[in-house]
Amino acid sequence: MPKLRRQSSVFSSTLVILLLLVVSSCNKSAGTAAPQKVTGPAAAVATNSYTGEGKVVAMDPKRPSIEIDHHEIKGLMPAMKMEFYVKDKTMLSGLKAGDLIDFSIDNGVGGIVITKITKKISISP
C-alpha cells in the first residue's frame, strides 16, 4: 500500500505543477500584441519612440544638436524645421548640411532626443 500512496502523491504533485504552469502562461500576453497606451501618472514618465526623415540644415557638435527640415513625424508633430539634441555627438560625424537622413527620436521626461541617424544614399543620375 505505501508504494501506491507514493505513486499517487507523485502524480498529484505533477498534476498541480502542470496546472500552475498552464495558469501562469495564460496570463502572459502574446508577443504580437500591440503595446498598451500608458495613462495616468505613469504617462508622465513614459518614453515614446518615433521615426522621421528629413534634410540636415545645420549641426552644433558642442551642444550636441542638429537642425532638421523634417517631414511629419506621425503621432508627434507636423512637418517643420527644428533643432533637436542628439544622444551622442559622434552621431553627427560624416553628416553635412543638405544630407537626407532617417532618424529615430525618443520623447520622454528629458525632452525630445535623437537616438539614431542614418544618412540616406543619394543616387545621382
pLDDT tens digit at each of 125 positions of the chain: 555 565 566 566 655 554 444 455 554 444 444 445 656 666 667 899 999 999 999 999 999 999 999 999 999 999 999 999 999 999 999 999 999 999 999 999 889 999 999 999 866 55
Q: In terms of C-beta density within 10 A (0-12 exposed, 13-18 middle, 19 or more buried), how is residue 52 classed?
A: buried
> Is residue 59 within a helix (H) or strand (E), and if so which, with residue range?
strand 48-60
Domains and CATH numbers, the chain: 47-119 (2.40.50.320)
